[in-house]
Amino acid sequence: MILYIKLAWRNVWRSKKRTWITASSIAFSVFFACLMQSSQLGSYDNMIDNSARFFTGHLGIHQVDFWEDQIIDNSFDQQALFELDLTNPSILMGVPRLSSFALASHGDRTKGAALFGVSLEEEAAFSYLERKLIKGDYNTERGVLMAAGLAANLNLNVGDTLVLMGQGYHGVNAAGKYSVTGILKFPIPALNQGAIYLPLETLQEFLSAPNMISSYSILLEDSQDTEGMKAHIETILKGKELGVMTWQEMLPDLVSSIELDYYGGWVILIILYVVIGFGIFGTFLMMIKERTYELGILNAIGMTKRRVQIMVAIEIFLLIFLGVLLGVLMATPIILYFWSNPILLSGDAALAMEKFGYEPIIPFALNFKIFYNQGISIFIIALFLAIYPMLAIKQMKIIKALKE
List interacting residues with another protein (CB under 8 A): 3, 7, 10-11, 14, 293-294, 297-307, 398-399, 402
Minimum distance from residue 320 beta carbon to another protein (Å): 19
Minimum Å distance from CB 283 to another protein?
17
Give the nearer residue to another protein in terms of CB position, either 8 or 209. Answer: 8
According to DSSP, the residues that pair with 77 across neighbouring strands are 212
CB of 12 to another protein, least distance (A): 9
The number of CA neighbours under 13 Å toward the Cβ of 125 is 11
Q: In terms of CB distance, is 258 or 295 closer to another protein?
A: 295
From residue 44, give the alpha-carbon distance in Å to each of 53, 94, 219, 222, 308.
14, 22, 16, 13, 47
- Distance of closest approach, residue 303 Cβ to another protein, in angstroms: 6
Residues contacting residue 143 through CB under 8 Å, at least 6 positions apart: 178, 179, 180, 181, 182
SS3 label, residue 392 = helix
Residue 17 Cβ vs another protein, minimum distance, rounded to whole Å: 16
Toward another protein, which CB reaches closer, 7 or 285? 7
Closer to another protein by Cβ: residue 286 or 349: 286
Closer residue to another protein, CB minimum distance, 267 or 399 = 399
390-399 contacts at long range (C-beta below 8 A, 24 or more positions apart): 390/309, 390/312, 390/313, 392/288, 393/288, 393/295, 393/305, 393/308, 393/309, 393/312, 394/305, 394/309, 396/292, 396/295, 396/296, 396/299, 396/305, 398/296, 398/299, 398/300
Cβ-based nearer residue to another protein, 170 or 403: 403
Minimum gap (Å) between residue 305 Cβ and another protein: 7
